[in-house]
Amino acid sequence: MANSNEKKFTVLEDPEIPTEILAQAIVDVASAAKKLLNGPLTRNAVIILVHAAAHGRVGKREVEVVLDAASSLDKFVLPSFRAKKA
Protein backbone atom coordinates (compact mmCIF):
# COMPACT_ATOMS: atom_id res chain seq x y z
CA MET A 1 0.00 0.00 0.00
CA ALA A 2 1.26 3.48 -0.85
CA ASN A 3 2.42 5.81 1.87
CA SER A 4 -0.21 8.48 2.59
CA ASN A 5 2.54 11.15 2.62
CA GLU A 6 3.66 10.17 -0.87
CA LYS A 7 3.22 12.99 -3.39
CA LYS A 8 2.06 12.30 -6.91
CA PHE A 9 3.02 14.51 -9.82
CA THR A 10 1.37 14.91 -13.16
CA VAL A 11 3.53 15.89 -16.10
CA LEU A 12 1.73 18.09 -18.59
CA GLU A 13 2.81 18.15 -22.19
CA ASP A 14 3.33 21.78 -23.21
CA PRO A 15 3.95 22.98 -26.72
CA GLU A 16 7.49 24.14 -27.36
CA ILE A 17 8.16 27.57 -25.87
CA PRO A 18 9.91 30.02 -28.22
CA THR A 19 13.54 30.77 -27.39
CA GLU A 20 12.85 34.51 -27.15
CA ILE A 21 10.27 33.97 -24.40
CA LEU A 22 12.63 31.70 -22.44
CA ALA A 23 15.45 34.20 -22.83
CA GLN A 24 13.26 37.05 -21.54
CA ALA A 25 12.15 34.94 -18.57
CA ILE A 26 15.80 34.25 -17.69
CA VAL A 27 16.62 37.96 -17.90
CA ASP A 28 13.60 38.75 -15.67
CA VAL A 29 14.62 36.19 -13.03
CA ALA A 30 18.20 37.45 -12.97
CA SER A 31 17.03 41.05 -12.77
CA ALA A 32 14.66 40.30 -9.87
CA ALA A 33 17.40 38.47 -7.96
CA LYS A 34 19.82 41.37 -8.50
CA LYS A 35 17.22 43.88 -7.28
CA LEU A 36 16.55 41.75 -4.21
CA LEU A 37 20.25 41.45 -3.37
CA ASN A 38 20.95 45.15 -4.06
CA GLY A 39 17.81 46.48 -2.38
CA PRO A 40 17.41 48.24 0.95
CA LEU A 41 17.88 45.04 2.98
CA THR A 42 21.32 43.65 3.59
CA ARG A 43 22.28 40.42 1.87
CA ASN A 44 22.24 38.60 5.20
CA ALA A 45 18.76 39.95 6.01
CA VAL A 46 17.39 38.64 2.71
CA ILE A 47 18.95 35.22 3.34
CA ILE A 48 17.53 35.08 6.88
CA LEU A 49 14.05 36.11 5.68
CA VAL A 50 13.96 33.47 2.93
CA HIS A 51 15.29 30.85 5.36
CA ALA A 52 12.59 31.80 7.90
CA ALA A 53 9.85 31.80 5.24
CA ALA A 54 10.84 28.20 4.41
CA HIS A 55 10.44 27.35 8.13
CA GLY A 56 14.05 26.20 8.27
CA ARG A 57 13.52 23.46 5.68
CA VAL A 58 16.09 25.13 3.45
CA GLY A 59 19.49 25.98 4.86
CA LYS A 60 20.88 29.50 4.77
CA ARG A 61 23.79 28.35 2.63
CA GLU A 62 21.40 26.86 0.08
CA VAL A 63 19.41 30.11 -0.01
CA GLU A 64 22.63 32.03 -0.61
CA VAL A 65 23.71 29.69 -3.42
CA VAL A 66 20.32 29.93 -5.17
CA LEU A 67 20.23 33.74 -4.91
CA ASP A 68 23.75 33.98 -6.32
CA ALA A 69 22.96 31.57 -9.14
CA ALA A 70 19.69 33.32 -9.98
CA SER A 71 21.37 36.73 -10.12
CA SER A 72 23.92 35.49 -12.67
CA LEU A 73 21.62 33.19 -14.61
CA ASP A 74 21.56 35.50 -17.62
CA LYS A 75 25.37 35.52 -17.86
CA PHE A 76 25.61 31.72 -17.97
CA VAL A 77 22.51 30.67 -19.90
CA LEU A 78 21.94 33.36 -22.52
CA PRO A 79 25.27 32.95 -24.31
CA SER A 80 24.35 29.32 -25.05
CA PHE A 81 20.94 30.44 -26.35
CA ARG A 82 22.64 32.91 -28.68
CA ALA A 83 25.17 30.30 -29.85
CA LYS A 84 22.41 27.81 -30.73
CA LYS A 85 20.45 30.48 -32.59
CA ALA A 86 23.42 31.56 -34.74
pTM for this structure? 0.67
**Residue 30 sits in which domain range?**
19-85
Other CB atoms closer than 10 Å to residue 48's CB: what's the count? Answer: 14
The proportion of the chain whose per-residue pLDDT surpasses 70, expressed as a percent, equals 80
- Structural domains counted in the chain: 1
Q: What does the pLDDT look like over 7-34, one tens digit per residue?
A: 676 766 767 888 888 889 999 999 999 9
In a domain? residue 48: yes
In a domain? residue 6: no
Provide mean pLDDT across the span 32-58: 94
Cβ pair 71, 34 in contact under 8 A = yes
Rounded CA separation 34/74 (Å): 11
The type of residue at 46 is V
